[in-house]
Amino acid sequence: MNCLASINLFDYEKLATEHLSQMALDYYNSGAGDEITLRDNRAAFERVKLRPHVLVDVSVRNLTTKVLGQSLQLPLLIAPMAFQCLAHPEGELATASAASKAGAGMVLSTMATKSMEEVATVCHKTKSPAPQWFQLYIHKDRGITRALVEKACATGYKALCLTVDAPVLGRRERDKRNQFTLPSGLELANLVSISELNIPIQQGESGLFTYFVEQLDPTLTWRDLDWLQSLSSLPLVVKGILRGDDAARAVEYGAKAIIVSNHGGRQLDGAIASLDALEDVVNAVDNQAEVMVDGGIRRGVDILKALALGAKAVLIGRPILWGLAVGGEAGVAHVIEILRDELDIAMALSGCTSVDQIDPSLIVEGKEEWGSGGWGVGG
């Protein structure tokens, strides 16, 4: 497949349907319930309007930034996504290699189908490896979590990213209908070496849902952040916050960064779009931690909008999987390249020569002005 035939991420989404099984396609693309939040994540970016500067010398532009003091060639990280070998045999290895070569960060899922050691080795082969973080779900058996943290430290991961919006799994009806499980030959690579855990086959139910019920800890509270941070010196990133008060509390408990996220619309259907929650979180954190956002980003101009609303960087999810399905590492690399090029053009047309010049002045003031698709009074 010639990846260059795709000129935007929506092209990749269409092509991916030809490369994925129905079970994999539904797992990657589905949201919870009626998928209201899933759709609204995208609509939120379309509601935001820009007020660009003109007559600025934009002949030279710089997309680099730092997150937690770690250098990125563009303000983008790959979101933690499970089971990437459903899309391509190389799975997380292909994604990590493409991201590292492009200077984008990557957050590896606890439920990856390639091990953190394999992924780290791939990234370390690049001349200037971008930062790798490890995403955690807290298991009922805390020994499993401890072992994962110790392994992440030993293999050179630069931060721990705790997902906090999944005490139970959202009701994902497509997965339930498909009785989702991993095909033979795929496994939870980070867990089988520790505890032989894997996604069960569950008659009439999603195996992932059953796994969450049986293995993950729904009793997790703020106090457990102290315990988690006692296991290592890695900075803590908290992912899945949609409220300013929760963000402020996360900072009180030691979080160095917040990812504003509704889990790609896969948890609480009807939850606020991530972009709509961003400003509240940024204000509540008040520069005491860095803030990022994921959910619904499909264009480089979406990245510019997120940065203008206060995000330090964004995380990209499903489009990476589409690129992986279509072209493996080359597909992921091309998805990142498209976003980079679109962001570069959007910056030039907004009068910004570096990402630190992207600020709230670019956003049309007043949410009521963002269009009829949002708060109801736009023309």
266 annotated among ligand-binding-site residues: yes
308 annotated among ligand-binding-site residues: no
89 annotated among ligand-binding-site residues: no
Q: Report DSSP letters for 189-246, one per residue.
A: HHHHHHH---PPP-TTS-HHHHHHHHHB-TT--THHHHHHHTT-SSPEEEEEE--HHH
CA distance 225 to 254: 8
CA distance 347 to 358: 8
172 annotated among ligand-binding-site residues: yes
Amino acid at position 250, single letter: A
135 annotated among ligand-binding-site residues: yes
195 annotated among ligand-binding-site residues: no
CA distance 369 to 196: 53
- CA–chain centroid gap for 281, Å, is 17
263 annotated among ligand-binding-site residues: yes
Residues 6+ apart with CB under 8 A from 223: none
Cβ pair 190, 115 in contact under 8 A: yes
217 annotated among ligand-binding-site residues: no
295 annotated among ligand-binding-site residues: yes
Catalytic residue, candidates 88, 139, 263, 334 = 263
Tokens 């010196």, located at residue: 233
109 annotated among ligand-binding-site residues: yes
Does residue 263 carry a catalytic annotation? yes
Which residues form the catalytic set? 263
Return binding residues: 27, 80-82, 109, 135, 137, 163, 172, 239, 261, 263, 266, 294-298, 317-318
Return binding residues for glyoxylate: 27, 137, 172, 263, 266
Return binding residues for FMN: 80-82, 109, 135, 163, 239, 261, 294-298, 317-318
